């Protein structure tokens, strides 16, 4: 027969064991049992949720308001992943609130951050779907994929460029480049004096150009002063006064006198033309006579130049004829 003291000790041990078990259960699931929470769903399509684990935090503007309870694949659309989150009951979730994936430091783990939401928007009822938002993680992922593709293309081109079939062309290109650099250095050494002279001339030209600009500025300043001077204003006033006097003059009489003068000049030119026509025949006859005289003189000059004795012989013949 078991003593009464042993029964008491056994009962105390069982009670303590049960108490520890219940306390452990309360500690592990206490938050879920003691807190009043509401459930929402988030549908992510064609997005990798790597790093998002069960129990991951759900935050709103940096404040923890819930956690991830479950992640499942949508049976009707296998490209979609449905994330079940539990949110504190007193946190308002609006219809225009968006769920964005965020990285936790450099660990690779992710959390869900709720953004947006306005006071005028309606509150989203529990068991509803929160709109997914575009995050920096997605942008970085897309850019990383694009960079990886471009890097792979560059590596392929580099491998093709450095391959056996292209090594000869590459070496030839490098040799040509080395020769071109050597020729360029030789050209610089040969024309170093000319280059220095050119630079000196350019510097001199720049100095002259600065001087010219300075003189131009002074000239423009002087011209501006001249335009604003009282003398020019007086001249303009005088011109304006003369213009007014011309307007007030008898323009009709001036025009009549000018017309009479033109008619007289026209008559004079007409008389001159008639005189030229009358004298044309006499002038032509005189020119013809002068032309014959010149021809005779030329013939006489030719004969004398050929036989100068003709002058003496001619003189004797004339003396005989006179006697």
Burial of 103 from C-beta contacts in 10 A (0-12 / 13-18 / 19+): middle
Asked whether residue 322 carries a pLDDT value surpassing 50, the answer given is: no
Rounded Cα gap, residues 52 and 111, in angstroms: 6
* Same domain assignment for residues 60 and 110: yes
Question: pLDDT: is 155 or 101 the higher one?
Answer: 101
Domain count, the chain: 3
Least confident stretch, 53-67, 165-179, 247-261? 247-261
Instruction: Give Dmax over CA atoms of the chain in angstroms.
Output: 218
* Same domain assignment for residues 113 and 41: yes
> pTM of the full predicted structure?
0.38
Q: Which of 36, 42, 38, 31 is nearest to 70 (CA)?
A: 42
Residue 216: inside a domain:
yes
Residue 92: inside a domain:
yes
Asked whether residue 204 carries a pLDDT value surpassing 70, the answer given is: yes
| pLDDT computed for residue 323 by the predictor | 47
Q: For the chain, give percent helix, strand, coil, nearest 5.
A: 65, 15, 20
* Same domain assignment for residues 40 and 67: yes
The mean pLDDT of the chain is: 78
Question: What is the tens place of the pLDDT at every residue in 206-225?
Answer: 888 888 888 888 888 887 87
| pLDDT computed for residue 311 by the predictor | 61
Question: pLDDT: is 257 or 161 the higher one?
Answer: 257
Q: Could you say which of 134, 155, 180 is where a domain stops?
A: 134
Residue 102: helix, strand or coil by DSSP?
strand
* Same domain assignment for residues 228 and 279: no
Sequence-separated (6 or more) residues with CB below 8 Å from residue 92: 117, 123
Question: pLDDT: is 314 or 130 the higher one?
Answer: 130
* Same domain assignment for residues 40 and 107: yes
Residue 299 belongs to what domain range?
A: 250-312
| Backbone torsions φ then ψ of 94, nearest 5 degrees | -90, 165
Asked whether residue 41 carries a pLDDT value surpassing 90, the answer given is: yes
* Same domain assignment for residues 83 and 102: yes
């Amino acid at each position: 027969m078991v003593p009464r003291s042993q029964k008491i000790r056994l009962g105390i041990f069982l009670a303590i064991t049960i108490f520890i078990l219940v306390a452990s259960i309360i500690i592990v699931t206490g938050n879920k049992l003691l807190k009043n929470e509401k459930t929402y769903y988030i549908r992510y399509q064609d997005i990798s949720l790597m790093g998002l684990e069960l129990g991951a935090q759900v935050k709103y503007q940096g404040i923890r308001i819930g956690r991830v309870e479950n992640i499942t694949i949508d049976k009707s659309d296998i490209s979609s992943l449905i994330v079940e989150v539990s949110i504190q009951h007193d946190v308002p979730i609006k219809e225009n609130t968006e769920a964005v994936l965020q990285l936790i430091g450099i660990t690779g783990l992710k959390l869900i951050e709720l953004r947006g939401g306005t006071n005028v928007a309606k509150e989203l009822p529990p068991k509803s779907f929160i709109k997914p938002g575009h995050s920096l993680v997605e942008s970085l992922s897309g850019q990383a994929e694009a960079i990886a593709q471009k890097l792979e293309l560059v590596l392929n081109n580099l491998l093709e460029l450095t391959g056996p079939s292209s090594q000869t062309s590459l070496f030839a290109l490098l040799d040509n480049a080395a020769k071109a650099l050597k020729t360029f250095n030789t050209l610089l050494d040969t024309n170093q004096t000319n280059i220095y002279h050119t630079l000196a001339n350019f510097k001199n030209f720049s100095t002259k150009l600065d001087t010219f600009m300075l003189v131009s500025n002074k000239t423009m300043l002087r011209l501006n002063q001249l335009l604003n001077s009282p003398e020019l204003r007086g001249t303009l006033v005088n011109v304006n006064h003369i213009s007014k006097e011309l307007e007030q003059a008898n323009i009709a009489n001036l025009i009549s006198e000018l017309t009479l003068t033109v008619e007289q000049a026209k008559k004079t030119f007409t008389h001159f033309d008639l005189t030229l026509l009358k004298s044309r025949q006499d002038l032509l006859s005189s020119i013809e006579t002068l032309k014959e005289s010149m021809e005779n003189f030329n013939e006489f000059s030719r004969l004398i130049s050929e036989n100068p004795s003709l002058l003496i012989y001619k003189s004797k013949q004339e003396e005989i004829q006179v006697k």
